[in-house]
Structure 1
Amino acid sequence: MLASTPIIIEAAVQHTASFIFLHGLGDSGHGWAPVMRQLSKKFRFMKFICPHAPQIPVTLNSGMKMPAWYDIYTLSDTDENEDETGLQKSANALLDYVKVEQAAGIPNERIFIGGFSQGAATSLFTALVHPDIKLGGIIALSGYIPCRKLIKSLPPHPLTTPVFAGHGTADFVVQYSWHRKSVEFLRQLGGARITAKSYEGMQHSSCEEEIADVVEFINGCLAIPEKTEL
């Protein structure tokens, strides 16, 4: 079941690729729409979809309702107390968006998913619990892999979708150490091409260098012979 109408930036020319990007905790699809519009100038054939997370109580914020893809119990690095149910629900919603693009005739290898912070975690989780759905790429900005214990319990199945993982070294919300552990986790699974980038001094945010690296990553995944202009 899809949530409220997402922000959609239509392709400027014939629509042949799609990118579904999930925002972070407390944000909305509007928050990342300017960056997606920036990317749309580089990839004129790509449709960008920025969904809005549902309003749910967030334990970390004293049960206050806010846009969230799943509940957050703590900011400690643990697999013991995570909202697996909420993650599964958001993963299903994300896959619904993927199905819409598939129905529009976009092949899996030209559909990208990704997000920032909690949105990045949701995208990684979705790909890892549904590894049979090979996509064009996963773009995880300032994110991490949640529910690693659950993922380890699943039948062995290497992730074959390429992954871009970007993170600031001064991030004290989703700590930089989580990024390193998540990248190592992906590499241990095998199969996927992992592009891990660190940004010195960057906090829980993004930067022009990271967005330029995202453009390069998408170019590589689509095997575009001529690189887009930055």
Structure 2
Amino acid sequence: MVTTTSSSEEVDVTVVSSTQEHTATIIFCHGLGQSISQYDLDIEFLAQRLPFVKWVRPQAREQRLTYYGNSRQPSWFNICQLPPRVDEFDEVGIVESISVIEQLILGEVHSGLDPKRIILVGFSQGAALCLMTALTTLHDLGGVGSLSGWIPHPIREASVVPHEAHLGRI
């Protein structure tokens, strides 16, 4: 198992390379206030059982969070309370984070991987991000896994609306 870390303008990304021919990618997004390194043992366990999978693990940037009294925490977008309320919707933060995940998807597609072999998986806020990305992407992804996630209610009225090709999946 080979692990590499790279940095883009937005986030740091840790990649666990496949140990056999790379035929699938899982993009895994951590939860609110977490570090992607908290999942190292879990990913190592899964990587041994899925040797054809490349694991792409972005680390959310630290930002001030209303939920944590404006302290700086890793977060994909601002949250005022849990569960999130309809009137407290960080559309800008959500759009920026969806863009980060879209860039990771594009990187995999440009490397020759069929989008149907890309799966988004996330925990908590990372799961919410994966669900929203799956609903808005133009790519026909292989799937999305949500561990304790949710879809912010206003996504249906916001500028981040589900792509019509995915409406049948909702």
**TM-score, normalising length from structure 2?**
0.86
Displacement of 1:190 in angstroms is 3.5
For 1:90, give the aligned amino acid: S
Kept in 2, the 8 Å contact 1:20–1:48? The answer is yes
Q: Which residue of 2 aligns with 1:10?
A: 17
Instruction: Report the structure number with the largest CA radius of gyration.
Output: 1
Q: Does 1:52 align with 2:70?
A: no
Distance in 2 separating the partners of 1:3 and 1:63: 20
1:129 paired residue among 133, 136, 153: 136
- Count of residues in Structure 1 that have an aligned counterpart in Structure 2: 161
User: C-alpha deviations, 1:150-204, integer Å up to 9, x for none?
Assistant: 3256477252xxxxxxxxxxxxxxxxxxxxxxxxxxxxx5436xxxxxxxxxxxx
Q: CA deviation at 1:139?
A: 0.8
CA contact (8 A) 2:27 2:121 kept: yes
Change (3 A) 1:155 1:31: closer
Secondary structure at the counterpart of residue 115 of structure 1: strand
Question: Residue 129 of structure 1: CA displacement?
Answer: 2.5
Give the structure 1 partner of residue 41 of structure 2: 34
RMSD value, Cα: 1.9
Runs of 4 or more above 4 Å deviation:
none
- Find the residue that maps to 1:32 and give its secondary structure: helix
Kindly indicate whether the alpha-carbon contact (under 8 Å) linking 2:89 and 2:154 is maintained by their aligned counterparts in 1: no
Q: 1:141 to 1:2 in 2, by over 3 A?
A: farther
Partner of 2:169: 191
Q: Which residue of 1 aligns with 2:150?
A: 144
Of 34-43 and 109-118, more deviation after overlay is shown by 34-43
Give the number of the structure whose residues are more often strand, by fraction. Answer: 2
Contact 1:16 1:45 in 2 (8 A): yes
Gaps of at least 5 residues in structure 2 are 1-7
Name the amino acid aligned to 2:44.
Answer: R
Structure 1 unaligned spans of 5+: 160-188, 193-230
Q: Percent identity?
A: 31
